[in-house]
Amino acid sequence: MKKKVLLAYSGGLDTSYCLIYLQSLGYEVHTALADTGGFTKEELDVLATKAIKLGAASHQVLNIVEEYYQEGIRFLLYGNVLKNQAYPLSVSAERVFQARAIARLANQLNVDAIAHGSTGAGNDQVRFDLVFQALCPGKEIIAPIREKKLSREEEIQFLKEHKVEMNFDKALYSVNQGLWGTSVGGKETLGSNGFLPEEAFPSKVTESASKSIVIEFEKGQPVGLDGKKMKPVEVIKALNALGGSYGIGRDIHVGDTILGIKGRVGFEAPAPAILIKAHQGLEKHVLSKFQLQIKEQQSLWYGQLMHEGLWLDPACRNLEAFLESSQARVTGKVFVVLAPYRFQVHGIESKFDLMNNLFGKYGEMNSLWSADDAKGFAKIFGVQQMIIQKVGEHAGE
Amino acid sequence: MKKKVLLAYSGGLDTSYCLIYLQSLGYEVHTALADTGGFTKEELDVLATKAIKLGAASHQVLNIVEEYYQEGIRFLLYGNVLKNQAYPLSVSAERVFQARAIARLANQLNVDAIAHGSTGAGNDQVRFDLVFQALCPGKEIIAPIREKKLSREEEIQFLKEHKVEMNFDKALYSVNQGLWGTSVGGKETLGSNGFLPEEAFPSKVTESASKSIVIEFEKGQPVGLDGKKMKPVEVIKALNALGGSYGIGRDIHVGDTILGIKGRVGFEAPAPAILIKAHQGLEKHVLSKFQLQIKEQQSLWYGQLMHEGLWLDPACRNLEAFLESSQARVTGKVFVVLAPYRFQVHGIESKFDLMNNLFGKYGEMNSLWSADDAKGFAKIFGVQQMIIQKVGEHAGE
Amino acid sequence: MKKKVLLAYSGGLDTSYCLIYLQSLGYEVHTALADTGGFTKEELDVLATKAIKLGAASHQVLNIVEEYYQEGIRFLLYGNVLKNQAYPLSVSAERVFQARAIARLANQLNVDAIAHGSTGAGNDQVRFDLVFQALCPGKEIIAPIREKKLSREEEIQFLKEHKVEMNFDKALYSVNQGLWGTSVGGKETLGSNGFLPEEAFPSKVTESASKSIVIEFEKGQPVGLDGKKMKPVEVIKALNALGGSYGIGRDIHVGDTILGIKGRVGFEAPAPAILIKAHQGLEKHVLSKFQLQIKEQQSLWYGQLMHEGLWLDPACRNLEAFLESSQARVTGKVFVVLAPYRFQVHGIESKFDLMNNLFGKYGEMNSLWSADDAKGFAKIFGVQQMIIQKVGEHAGE
Amino acid sequence: MKKKVLLAYSGGLDTSYCLIYLQSLGYEVHTALADTGGFTKEELDVLATKAIKLGAASHQVLNIVEEYYQEGIRFLLYGNVLKNQAYPLSVSAERVFQARAIARLANQLNVDAIAHGSTGAGNDQVRFDLVFQALCPGKEIIAPIREKKLSREEEIQFLKEHKVEMNFDKALYSVNQGLWGTSVGGKETLGSNGFLPEEAFPSKVTESASKSIVIEFEKGQPVGLDGKKMKPVEVIKALNALGGSYGIGRDIHVGDTILGIKGRVGFEAPAPAILIKAHQGLEKHVLSKFQLQIKEQQSLWYGQLMHEGLWLDPACRNLEAFLESSQARVTGKVFVVLAPYRFQVHGIESKFDLMNNLFGKYGEMNSLWSADDAKGFAKIFGVQQMIIQKVGEHAGE
């Protein structure tokens, strides 16, 4: 009886190679695509047909958009996670959830092995391996492109030899699309200088006039846009479309790969850019000083673990409990103005706003304390600094 | 013999009131203005004349721009400090240095008391009090506006009674200018929603075409612009002027005051915005992953202490030692493109760039490790996660 | 009609003074004692009788031991909180819970004011004031000892004038007892050098032979001792008694008061000392590296906020959510050996032990990875360090 | 011409095997022992003779005690580093310095390869590999025990075949001695429960009466003992001897290895235990609240990086700059009392003591602030907590 393998399939050159190659090794190859929001129904159908045509024993589309939001994106938003102050972890996060869905299916199909198309150079191999090891401990992991160190040309050569017909032209830009952003690599991102040209980005900038929008949050989750109640995933999709038409959320991420080298990649993430800044703007009004301060540290950790594929570590569950708890009052409206290539948070409205006129307006004399209270506060707040100074002088410092 | 007081004087309504009021109490009032880069020579001359005219026994201008840069701004830049991810601490930082300069002079003049014009509502009173207490421990601190809870109208009334002639019209926007940014308060910042209109900002947007610039850093300090070597303070001034003409660096800061209430203030800080993002862009290429991660935490602390007027705390010296040490390799050029109301870092060039082609290009197969190395790495990197999963299953979790 | 005040009463000189003094001001004085585990039934009865005899309109004992454990101690244990690596926050924590119980009663009794016997020198006044302000915003806070700056002698004089009979002898050591430890102040703690003598501690050391005990934890809570199931509060009481007979958990805490000066106080906390070290010993076996690392930072924050009386800040709720989540697997037995004045954790047993022999023994060659995997791991784990070195040499550093 | 290899040699079974084995492969084997304070002059001579006898082309003893102190231990002490609140990183730290010394010599000798005797199971292989990779990038790393997965019996068999005569009895406890502590492994440390017996520890407990000592620190470094000025390394040696005679500093460390599994090892570290607690006791008196708080976080990082062999990462240089700066006032005497198996810090004396009687005694009414100041402080310190409560009630929370 043939050994069975489940291949994480995306329809590109690398995973097409893997599909043929694994069959040539004698495997019964099952394919699956874990969709995190990067494909249309039509694209998914085309890919399914293609997989079967290339010999897949079965093909499944795993729609994980909702679980990706519920278990991943939601917390990235709670934490306002922007890796290195820039990157919403668009691709990093979705790999973990794709790997988990594939692993789940591998266990259901009772396959002997599990395969992915990652090279040996980057983060993805680690993210896939980590999740597979943890969730499918008995199964062999096969990564043909990594193991055989194949060049693009060698892959094409092999596929042609196996009579595979597909478009072998190399796209100028390699694009990875998902609900939480699109990464874009090209010649400008290979070196340390250079920004992606307009045409590298999948969205087209069509708007020139500025536009005011209102985003509604409930306990940290986006639940409405311009007065219309929507599910969070729908808000994200709508903001990706709208923000994309303004060219919002484009930047270049420079960071440390899990393997220790620096990497540079372009991205376009309109919804994450707008939502994170809006959410953060609301938090500044409704969270305490200590919540803001401590949450900032926690979020750095959450982003770090997510980036390095360690999301299954129970530390992430603990951080999520913290983050969820912190959102109890993050409810209200945020007013944002979009303009070409930029946007501005104009303000918020919330019943939990601590800048509340229950107590008088900021900047004016208020009823919360007297001048003497303020003097007393300043005196005691500075008492240690004063003692330190005095002691130093006395010690002849 | 008359008691002597030194008044931190800025020429506005509040400190003019203080100057007259303190004389009415029988004090010999000396005035001083600590300039952090917010005044022209002409403005300073006018203010000096005015102080003497209002009865100041002496008036001094303390030019502290360079020390403000060397001992404060420099570290804020090393730390990429943006309070609540937005505000470069434009005003917060300068208050501390102004207070220190005033305190130094108070000790030289051997005055009995030291006075400032802060109200009892905001941060400034605390910053002044803290520094005065530590550096002039024997001297009384007088803050007439705070102590007498005066309204604007009462101050004007008092000044008119004392035959003071000055412009008593209230400006629509209260502006505080310094080398590291300008704060702008107005009716839009009193509530939780509303952005400042164009006319509220001191700079005028005159540019519409995008412009490429090159900023040169040496050990973290900006030392050149577009190929011309300059002192750091000169780079900052040039970028304030240039960025101002693009309307860059405008935003609203929402944060916790030292006294526990939330506050909201507009600001315009072109040079800080551009320099911090450029500096950070360079750091991402030349610092190690751990340097970036640890530095981020340190910088939050440094910003927090600076914001709360606790800069004299020796913890700040320790953080500065850390920050200075972290800049050893932050040397190179940063390429930035300015456009109206926004800018983009396009890349960097540095002999310390860790994304170096000594070792092959990112994204391609490299010579640093083999496929087996990568597999081994991933296996061990994920071993704890795998054990945790296994142990949980075994324990029937 | 008389104004009503609720006095937090402990039966000592200070609160006896307050009870008489507040009556002399015309108040109807109600008293309450919030018991955190520091009194016997008999002591509480004596104090109640005394309060009524001194004129209290009513007296209530608020038994808050269980809520103190459930909402406070439990999280201090989860977090292994030892302030400045030494002090289990014995007194700090109980003040907050006492203040909350008193505030609750004040609202029920609908009193006009709320009073406490703290001086103006230390932490307790801040802890009381903070909680009262937040939970009884309309009520006046009266702290007679603080306001009148009374000396001990003046208080005694006043009480004698009012015919109060009580023991006015000053104890050599001031002791504050509660479930989570006893603080002890005396002449040795006033300066910076000196340890408390044997007689200063309430417990008597009666044991000389070492003794093995087994503490059982379930999700981080102590639920059994030496094979006997017990409620957490009972485990704590039993360990306080047992550890006390060995003189375990005695030390001196040096720290920063909320007011900025340094303070020094002796304490005896047998149960906290043993439980925290045992709990931590168990955690080292069942938590991931990242859980341990992140939890350590969180716990510092939780201890800091608790110490400074800021436990009502919602940041504490968020940290508690983190801590609770982190305890999911902190279940098992800890083996401890007690000896006079010290104890040693000998080991643990847990179904969640990650040092599990499912995978072979530590120190021996194991089946989790091969030599090649380890080489690959080390190579990649060190790749950034190597690049940094190389780049530095190349740049002529 | 023969290829040359430098072997890190310790004289035990593993490195003796390597020495013979590498010769059998045709290498000219040079040996070196990097002494971190764990050997007597006599032991070193014996090992040198043995190495030559086993065929080493040359043997060198590298005395790195002083540099180990200056560049490593010193900062571990500044940071009060106890991994997992227990372990002074006795072995972890010395491996890095041994590896560096060996790497330096390898470059001087211009060898082709560099060898160590680590297995594939533990931390040491990673620490050696990391340093060798960074400092000797061109040289092959050979770890025969790891690569050949040899059992103890196979090594002995091989050595006997090669006519090597040495004591092949397995010691009951494997001991690794250095200036900053001795690790001890044995059957009790293989599982999760069990403490090492008296005879497992190298030191013998000979003292029963308690003894007072005085340790003198200057800018954080130990420079005197009982009134006698000494070099830091001498203080450490003296405290190891003295503390060892009391059985002080013995414990079991449970922690995460670099490879992700949990490990457990006994240790005896009298000087680190006493010095760290004494140093910390002094710091509590002379550092500000913020210095203590921030330093605690920094130190966790420094310990973590040192533990994982990443000491060459420039982040360590930055942390060292922080730590060094923090020690400016850590000068004074610490009074410690030793007793069998335990010790107690009794107090300190320092001209920088912030608990200074310049300002009155702690616990008494002081001259630094008034009752009104304290009330005002508490009011404002709690204002945010109060607003949060009020806003919540108003919002119907």
Say what angle helices D371-381 and C123-135 make with each other, to 10 degrees. Answer: 50
d(CA C21, CA A362): 40
SS3 A124: helix
Which residue stretches of chain D have pLDDT < 70?
357-366
Say what angle helices A13-24 and A152-161 make with each other, to 10 degrees. Answer: 50
Interface of A with C (CB under 8 A): 256, 259-261, 287-288, 290-291, 293-295, 297-298, 301, 305, 310, 313-315, 317-322, 324-326, 328-329, 380-384, 387
Our CA dihedral for B148, B149, B150, B152, rounded to 10 degrees, sits at: 160
d(CA D60, CA D44): 10
Strand-strand pairing, B4-8 and B113-115 = parallel
Residues of D in contact with A375 (CB under 8 A): 373, 376
Does D380 sit within 8 Å of A369, measured CB to CB? yes
Q: Which residue of B has its CA nearest to C331?
A: B395
Does D352 sit within 8 Å of A392, measured CB to CB? yes
Does C298 sit within 8 Å of A290, measured CB to CB? no
What H or E segment, with its residue span, contains residue A225? strand A221-225
In this complex, the residue of B351, B380, B395 whose CB is nearest that of residue C377 is B380
d(CA C250, CA C236): 16
pLDDT of C138? 87
Q: Which positions ≥6 away from A356 have C-beta within 8 Å?
A: D387, D391, D394
- Can you tell me the mean pLDDT for A211-229? 98
State the best of B325, B377, B380 to mutate against chain D, taking most chain D CBs within 10 Å.
B325
State the best of D128, D151, D254, D302 to mutate against chain C, taking most chain C CBs within 10 Å.
D254
Sorting pLDDT into bands at 50, 70 and 90, what band is A354? Answer: very high
Convert the pLDDT of each residue in C228-277 to its tens digit. 999 999 999 999 999 999 999 999 999 999 999 999 999 999 999 999 99
Distance from CA of D354 to the nearest CA of A (A): 7
pLDDT of B347? 97
Interface of D with A (CB under 8 A): 288-289, 329, 351-354, 356, 358-359, 368-370, 372-377, 379-381, 383-385, 387-388, 390-392, 394-395, 397
Distance from CA of D357 to the nearest CA of C (A): 8
Closest CA to B79 of B280, B250, B255: B280
Q: Which residue of C has its CA nearest to A326?
A: C318
d(CA B68, CA B94): 7
- Can you tell me the mean pLDDT for C64-72? 98
pLDDT of B365? 47
Q: What are the DSSP calls for B49-75, one per residue?
A: HHHHHTT-SEEEEEE-HHHHIIIIIHH
Q: Percentage of chain C with pLDDT > 90?
A: 89
Distance from CA of B349 to the nearest CA of D (A): 20
Does C260 sit within 8 Å of A382, measured CB to CB? yes
pLDDT of B357 higher than 80: no
Does B381 sit within 8 Å of C376, measured CB to CB? no
Convert the pLDDT of each residue in A285-320 to its tens digit. 999 999 999 999 999 999 999 999 999 999 999 999
pLDDT of D361? 53
Residues of A in contact with D375 (CB under 8 A): 373, 376
Determine contact, residues A306/A316, Cβ cutoff 8 Å.
yes
Determine contact, residues B376/C377, Cβ cutoff 8 Å.
yes
Q: What are the DSSP calls for B259-294, one per residue?
A: TSSEEEEEEE-HHHHHHHHHHHHHHHHHS-HHHHHH
The pLDDT mean for chain C works out to 95
- Can you tell me the mean pLDDT for C63-75? 98
Which chains does D contact via 3+ CB–CB distances below 8 A? Answer: A, B, C
Distance from CA of D41 to the nearest CA of C (A): 30
Does A388 sit within 8 Å of D354, measured CB to CB? yes
**CATH code for residues C4-161:** 3.40.50.620
pLDDT of A91? 87
Least confident stretch, B190-204, C361-375, D118-132: C361-375
Determine contact, residues D94/D178, Cβ cutoff 8 Å.
yes
- The gap from C-alpha B331 to its chain's centroid, in whole angstroms, comes to 23
Does D297 sit within 8 Å of B314, measured CB to CB? no
Sorting pLDDT into bands at 50, 70 and 90, what band is B368? Answer: confident
Residues of D in contact with B384 (CB under 8 A): 256, 260-261
Does A313 sit within 8 Å of C325, measured CB to CB? no
State the best of B350, B387, B390 to mutate against chain C, taking most chain C CBs within 10 Å.
B387
The order of strands in the sheet holding D28-35 is D58-63, D28-35, D4-8, D113-115, D140-142
Which chains does C contact via 3+ CB–CB distances below 8 A? Answer: A, B, D
Convert the pLDDT of each residue in C165-208 to its tens digit. 888 888 899 999 999 999 999 999 999 999 999 999 999 999 99
Closest CA to C71 of C312, C270, C236: C312
Closest CA to C177 of C362, C36, C318: C36
pLDDT of B358 higher than 70: no
Distance from CA of C387 to the nearest CA of A (A): 8
User: Is the domain covering B4-71+82-161 a CATH 3.40.50.920 domain?
Assistant: no
Structure tokens at D335: 């009074």
Q: Which residue of D has its CA nearest to A360?
A: D387
pLDDT of C290 higher than 60: yes
Q: Ramachandran region of residue B122, left (φ > 0), alpha (ψ -120 to 50) or beta?
A: beta
Give domain limits for chain A.
4-161, 174-287+329-349, 357-394
Q: At D317, phi and psi to the nearest 5? A: -65, -40
As a 3-state breakdown, chain D gives helix, strand, coil percent values, each rounded to 5, of 45, 20, 35
Does C294 sit within 8 Å of A315, measured CB to CB? yes
pLDDT of A82? 97
Our CA dihedral for A174, A176, A182, A185, rounded to 10 degrees, sits at: -20
Determine contact, residues D5/D27, Cβ cutoff 8 Å.
yes
State the best of A127, A192, A205, A296 to mutate against chain B, taking most chain B CBs within 10 Å.
A192
Residues of C in contact with A291 (CB under 8 A): 313-315, 318
The pLDDT mean for chain A works out to 95
d(CA D248, CA D211): 13
Of the options 3.40.50.2020, 3.40.50.300, 3.30.2130.10, 3.90.1260.10, the CATH number for the domain spanning D174-287+329-349? 3.90.1260.10
Residues of A in contact with D390 (CB under 8 A): 358-359
Distance from CA of A154 to the nearest CA of C (A): 26
**C317 exposed, middle or buried (CB, 10 Å; 0-12, 13-18, 19+)?**
middle
Q: Which positions ≥6 away from C37 have C-beta within 8 Å?
A: C65, C68, C177, C178, C179, C180, C233, C237
Strand-strand pairing, D211-218 and D181-185 = unpaired
State the maximum Cα–Cα separation within chain A, in Å, rounded to a whole number.
Answer: 88
Q: Ramachandran region of residue D66, left (φ > 0), alpha (ψ -120 to 50) or beta?
A: alpha
Does C329 sit within 8 Å of A314, measured CB to CB? yes
Q: Which positions ≥6 away from B176 have C-beta within 8 Å?
A: B38, B90, B91, B182, B183
Q: Which residue of C has its CA nearest to B392?
A: C352
State the best of B100, B258, B357, B385 to mutate against chain A, taking most chain A CBs within 10 Å.
B385
Q: At D93, phi and psi to the nearest 5? A: -70, -40
Convert the pLDDT of each residue in B135-157 to its tens digit. 998 899 999 999 998 888 999 99
**C108 exposed, middle or buried (CB, 10 Å; 0-12, 13-18, 19+)?**
exposed
Sorting pLDDT into bands at 50, 70 and 90, what band is A94? Answer: very high
Interface of D with B (CB under 8 A): 256, 259-261, 287-288, 290-291, 293-295, 297-298, 301, 305, 310, 313-315, 317-322, 324-326, 328-329, 380-385, 387
What H or E segment, with its residue span, contains residue D314? helix D314-326
Does D366 sit within 8 Å of C261, measured CB to CB? yes
Q: At A10, phi and psi to the nearest 5? A: -120, -5
Distance from CA of B314 to the nearest CA of A (A): 8
Residues of C in contact with D369 (CB under 8 A): 120, 259
State the maximum Cα–Cα separation within chain B, in Å, rounded to a whole number.
Answer: 88
Interface confidence, given as ipTM, is 0.96
In this complex, the residue of B359, B376, B383 whose CB is nearest that of residue C387 is B359
Least confident stretch, A339-353, A361-375, B160-174, D293-307: A361-375
In this complex, the residue of A147, A261, A297 whose CB is nearest that of residue B362 is A261
State the best of B283, B284, B300, B380 to mutate against chain C, taking most chain C CBs within 10 Å.
B380
Our CA dihedral for B183, B185, B190, B195, rounded to 10 degrees, sits at: -80
In this complex, the residue of C285, C304, C313 whose CB is nearest that of residue D385 is C313
Sorting pLDDT into bands at 50, 70 and 90, what band is C359? Answer: low
Say what angle helices C90-109 and C123-135 make with each other, to 10 degrees. Answer: 40
Q: Which residue has the tokens 């900032």?
A: A296
Distance from CA of C371 to the nearest CA of A (A): 18
Distance from CA of D2 to the nearest CA of B (A): 27
Q: Which positions ≥6 away from D126 have C-beta within 8 Å?
A: C374, C377, C378, C381, C382, D258, D259, D308, D309
∠ at Cα B221 (B217, B227), nearest 5°? 35
pLDDT of B306 higher than 70: yes
Q: Which residue of C has its CA nearest to A298?
A: C294
- The gap from C-alpha B307 to its chain's centroid, in whole angstroms, comes to 9
Q: What is the CA radius of gyration of chain D?
A: 25
Chains B & D: contacts with CB separation below 8 Å: 100
Closest CA to A331 of A235, A216, A253: A216
Distance from CA of C383 to the nearest CA of A (A): 6
SS3 C276: helix
What H or E segment, with its residue span, contains residue B184? strand B181-185
d(CA A30, CA A52): 9
State the maximum Cα–Cα separation within chain C, in Å, rounded to a whole number.
Answer: 88
